[in-house]
Amino acid sequence: MGNTDAITHIGLPDLIRLQADARALKLPSARPVRTRQAGLQRSPQRGRGMAFAEVRLYQPGDDIRSIDWRVTARRQEPHTKLYEEERERPVLLLCDLGPSLFFASTGAFKQVRCAQIASILAWLALWSGDQVGGIVFNGETLRVLRPARRKKSVLRLLDTLDELQRTDNRAPEQNEPSGQSRLDMALTEARRVAHTGSRIFVISDF
């Protein structure tokens, strides 16, 4: 049985206040990656300016100043140059708020802990200069928030975490997707949304 005194929901104001706790932490380092835009993550590449990495097809959101016009003319499709110097590292948070997380032994329900962890990771990523996005899902709904490097994108994620926490502990109906299938759907969406170099955190009881 769960503890009836446990916190069953955490609202947007409390999720915003967690940025104070996040200031004492930092995201673990990761190996250098190639991404589309300049940002704050440095590669170990040394030398003058930015080191050329590769040319690939232009994607929405690419800086048009990085278009390789020679390759574009030769292949008749717009191509973009990628570099190895400073760049953004999109962070995607998969947050499970399904029925199995509406449970606790002490302190707070699992869905509250999930929202707290996601909030702290989102603030950390924003302060590191990374893009922040998320896929938040419960027993009925799945929301996709594409990564962006704006405080507004973090607040939108926290607002979604607030909204999709369950307000009751009923079991899913017969025709509702199971928690596992919802997680599968979220992972499928992550493959669609994330691009090379993204860091993906899965917060779930699996």
Q: Are residues 128 and 167 in the same domain?
A: yes
Highest mean pLDDT among 155-159, 182-186, 193-197 belongs to 155-159
* Of the candidates 84, 101, 82, the residue with the CA atom closest to the CA atom of residue 161: 101
Q: Does residue 43 lie in a domain region?
A: no
Highest mean pLDDT among 19-28, 35-44, 56-65, 161-170 belongs to 56-65
142 vs 95: CA distance, rounded Å: 10
Instruction: Report pLDDT for 203.
Output: 94
28 vs 10: CA distance, rounded Å: 26
Q: Does residue 1 lie in a domain region?
A: no
Q: Are residues 176 and 95 in the same domain?
A: yes
Instruction: Report pLDDT for 89.
Output: 76
Mean per-residue pLDDT, 37-59: 58
DSSP letter at 105 equals S
Structural domain tally of the chain? 2
User: What is the pTM assigned to this prediction?
Assistant: 0.66
Instruction: Report pLDDT for 5.
Output: 65
DSSP letter at 16 equals H
Least confident of 12-26, 48-62, 103-117: 48-62
Q: Are residues 18 and 101 in the same domain?
A: yes
Query: What's the pLDDT tens digit per position in 97-152?
Result: 988 888 886 789 999 999 999 999 999 999 888 899 999 999 889 999 999 888 99
202 vs 185: CA distance, rounded Å: 13
* Residues 18, 119 contacting (CB under 8 angstroms): yes
DSSP 112-148: HHHHHHHHHHHHHHHHTT--EEEEEE-SS-EEEEEEE
Domain that holds residue 186: 12-29+88-203
61 vs 67: CA distance, rounded Å: 12
**Residue 96: strand pairing partners:** 137
